[in-house]
Amino acid sequence: MTAVPVAARFGAAARRYEDHAPVQRITAERLADDIALLPLPRHPRILEIGCGTGLLTRALARRIGPADWTVTDISPGMLAAAQSRPPPPGTVRYRLLDGERPEGLPGGYDLICSSLAVQWFSDLNAGLGRLAALLAPGGRLAVATLAAGTFQEWRAAHREAGLSAATPAYPPLDAIRPGMGNLTGGVRGERLLHNHPDGLHFLKGLKGIGATSPAPGSKPLSPAGLRRVLAAFDRRGATVTYHLAYGMWKKTDQRPAGVFVTGTDTGIGKTLVSAILARAWNADYWKPVQTGVSEEPGDTDTVAQLAGLPPERLHLPAYVLQAPLSPWAAATLEDAVVDATSIVPPATQAPLIVEGAGGLYVPIDDTHMMIDLIARLDLPVVLAARSGLGTINHTLLSLEALRRRGIAVLGVIMSGPLSAGNKEAIERFGNVRVLAEIPPLSKVDAATVEALACGIPSLEDCLTELGGAPAVAG
Closest by Cα among 170, 183, 166 to 244: 170
Q: Is 299 annotated as a binding residue?
A: yes
Residues 6 or more apart whose CB falls under 8 angstroms from that of 39 comprise 375, 376
For the chain, state the CA radius of gyration. Answer: 25
CA 374 distance to own-chain centroid: 15
Would you say 265 is a known binding-site residue?
A: no
Is position 269 annotated in a ligand binding site? yes
Check whether 357 is labelled as a binding-site residue. Answer: yes
464 is in an annotated binding site: no
> Is position 408 annotated in a ligand binding site?
no
- CA pair distance 402, 406, nearest whole angstrom: 7
Dmax over Cα atoms in the chain, in whole Å? 78
Query: How far apart (Å, rounded) are the C-alpha atoms in residues 99 and 121?
Result: 8
Q: Are 144 and 245 in contact (CB under 8 A)?
A: yes
Q: Three-class SS of residue 81? A: helix
Whether residue 358 is annotated as binding a ligand: the answer is yes
- Has 291 been labeled as part of a binding site? yes
Is 88 labelled a binding residue?
Answer: no
SS (H, E, C) 133-194: CCEEEEEEEEEEEECCCCCHHHHHHHHHCCCCCCCCCCCCHHHCCCCCCCEEEEEEEEEEEE
**Alpha-carbon span 185 to 38, nearest angstrom:** 12
- Of 251, 287, 423, 443, the catalytic one is 287
Nearest to 411 by CA among 276, 288, 260, 286: 260
Catalytic residue flag (residue 287): yes
Q: Specify burial of residue 342 (Cβ count, 10 A radius: 0-12, 13-18, 19+).
A: exposed
Q: In 3-state terms, what secondary structure has residue 185? A: strand
| Residues that constitute the known binding site for Mg(2+) | 271, 299, 355
Residues catalogued as catalytic: 287
| Residues that constitute the known binding site | 267-272, 291, 299, 355-358, 439-441
| Residues that constitute the known binding site for substrate | 291
| Residues that constitute the known binding site for ATP | 267-272, 299, 355-358, 439-441
